[in-house]
Amino acid sequence: MVRRPAPRSAPTPPPTDGPQAGGSGGATERDRIIDAFMALLAEKSIDDISLIEIAARADLSLAQLRDTFSSPLAILAAHVKQIDRTVLAGGDADMADEPVRERLFDVLMRRLELMADDKDAIRSLMRSARRNPGLALVLNRLTVESQQWMLSAAGIAAAGPTGLLRAQGLALLYARVLDTWVNDDDPGLARTMAALDRALARGQRWAGLLDDLCNLTPGRCLSRRSRRRRRDDDAGEQAVVTGV
């Protein structure tokens, strides 16, 4: 399994945009809306969440909600962006000289650790996406955009058509890992780390993801012999991608 870096202190989230609101410890209206939406999402399907409920949970008027966000999906997109920013702000300089696969492993594990409080909400979204192809497409778009930033955080080119292909491949890998993560109650996320390691090892099967990554940094990925051994070990496993 890919080496897991030593634990480190959680990064301080970057400041969020939006007007300041009174109360709630100085939280912005934007933060309060996002928190309210994610709390409601943990309780019910996204299709059952009304704008009135979001405003009431955030202790705001509908006018204030409309001034900040246009829809529940816009709130979700803002939450994803918030997680992206925190991951990008919390990079570990010690990982700079590590192989590509380890850097990507580290970035994605940091992301999953930051999402710990959102597990019930994400489980709810995953259930809804399986029943609603339109929602699944929107969530895939958000995930691909996010994974372009995660690739960049790992020092991997993510621009242009090739970068988009890498991001889509990584989004599919990430979705498979989420299936394990939402049911992983171990504080150390052992099952999730193992699932992520296996997913990255199989990445060359999906649009040549890891082959591309190795070509970007010669000599930094696993040797071809090691990769063949991992591929043979994984032979017979069927990749089933379901999630966000």
When mean pLDDT is compared across 27-31, 112-116, 167-171, 231-235, the lowest value belongs to 231-235
Return the domain boundaries, the chain. 19-70, 93-233
* Cα separation, 208 vs 193, whole angstroms: 22
Q: Mean pLDDT across the stretch 30-46?
A: 97
Cα angle 183, 184, 190; round to 5: 155
The tens digit of pLDDT for each residue in 183-238 reads 999 999 999 999 999 999 887 555 454 445 545 443 343 333 344 344 444 433 33
| pLDDT tens-digit readout, 56-89 | 999 999 999 999 999 999 999 999 999 999 999 9
Please provide the DSSP assignment of 184-204 as one string: ---TT-HHHHHHHHHHHHTGG
More confident residue, 61 or 94: 61
Percent of the chain with pLDDT over 90: 61
Q: In the numeric block, which tokens belong to residue 90? A: 């919390």
Residue 131 has pLDDT above 50, yes or no: yes
Average pLDDT of the chain, as a whole number: 80
The residues with which 28 forms a beta bridge, in sequence order, are: 20
Let me know how long the chain is: 244
pLDDT of residue 1 exceeding 50, the answer is no
d(CA 21, CA 241): 41
Amino acid 238: pLDDT: 32
124 vs 213: which has the higher pLDDT? 124
Instruction: Judge contact between 196 and 177, C-beta under 8 A.
Output: yes
19-70 to CATH, choices 3.30.70.2860, 3.20.20.80, 1.10.287.130, 1.10.10.60:
1.10.10.60
Q: For position 90, what pLDDT does the model report?
A: 86
How far apart are the C-alpha atoms of 124 and 42, rounded to whole Å? Answer: 6
pLDDT of 180 above 80 = yes
Place of tokens 């989004």: 171
Q: Which pLDDT score, from 0 to 100, does residue 205 have?
A: 52
* Residue 8, pLDDT score: 40
Listed residue (184, 172, 83, 72) closest to 125, CA to CA: 72
